[in-house]
Amino acid sequence: MPLRHLLAALLVVAIWGSNFVVIKFALGELPPLLFAALRFAFAVLPALFFLPRPAVAWRNLAAYGVLIGVGQFGVLYLAMRTQISPGLASLVIQTQVFFTILLAMRVTRERVQGYQWLGLLLAASGIGVIASHTDGSTTVAGLAMVLFAALCWATANMVGKQAGRVNMLAYMVWTSACAVPPLLLLSLVFEGPAAIVSGVQHLSWQGWVAVLWQSWGNTLFGYGIWGWLLARHAAATIVPMALLVPVFGMSAAAWLLGETMPSWKLIAAALVLSGLALNLLWPLRPWRNAVSAAGTS
């Protein structure tokens, strides 16, 4: 991989990881459901006018948009407002990898390999460590909400897989259009018109930057560059770099928000990341090929 491509991949995972700090900042000024609605609204405009709709059924676009918009980010924002710290949220949300594997086993009858079960056990152990150390910054309810958000993300992965090979940036923009109406409706019902008007009127310029960072930096730029890299390199070269997302997330939370990193958090992170690494890196198995070659020489 050329150095500039490597740096581009690192920039994307750094944006995705540090994004949890940006979310926490914006939640100090906006109700969570309204924040999610604005995030997807600005991801739609003005990109919708420049990217043609992918050749995908509307029901697929709508399902993905609702799952990502309401199920993943709506619930994630609700949890991050008071129920879980940004660093831990960036880690726990990555359990979507294991939910995706389990759903694939259920829906497409894919066979789960032994190393995948081991990876799931390691990650589950890490989640157990977090659950046993809930405090004022992280609650059992918050942990459950982020796990639910991860499940919705995994379900959206299955829906996206049914869309086939499409322009991922265009797909994200058009599915975002399907996420905005239900998020606005939920915000209107549960947060109220007064909270919506007040949130928009009193949003500082830093708050607007946070919203636009979510929309353009995290969604359009991040997914656009990631898709561009995947089109030019083997997935096995690019995808494992996503392991750095929670590393950047937890580091940014500690540096910018003063989130503490006691030993139990580091142990939980090591367990979850080990499980993720096992599932992403084991299929490559270069060491097994080397051993096999040595055995036949």
- Residue 269 near residue 250, CB atoms below 8 Å: yes
The better pLDDT of the pair 268, 30 is held by 30
pLDDT recorded at residue 1: 67
Give helix 114-131 / helix 140-162 axis angle, nearest 10°: 150
Give helix 75-82 / helix 3-27 axis angle, nearest 10°: 60
Q: Rounded to an integer, what is the distance from CA 73 to the centroid of its chain?
A: 8
pLDDT recorded at residue 286: 55
Average pLDDT over every residue of 195-216:
91
Question: What span, in angstroms and rounded, lies between the C-alpha atoms of 261 and 152?
Answer: 28
- Residue 134 near residue 143, CB atoms below 8 Å: yes
Residues 68-125: pLDDT tens digits? 999 999 999 999 998 998 888 888 888 887 787 788 777 766 676 777 788 778 888 8
pLDDT recorded at residue 287: 46
pLDDT recorded at residue 290: 46
pLDDT recorded at residue 294: 41
The better pLDDT of the pair 39, 261 is held by 39
pLDDT recorded at residue 293: 44
pLDDT recorded at residue 285: 60
Residue entry with tokens 């359009």: 220
Question: What span, in angstroms and rounded, lies between the C-alpha atoms of 140 and 163?
Answer: 35
19 pLDDT above the threshold of 80: yes
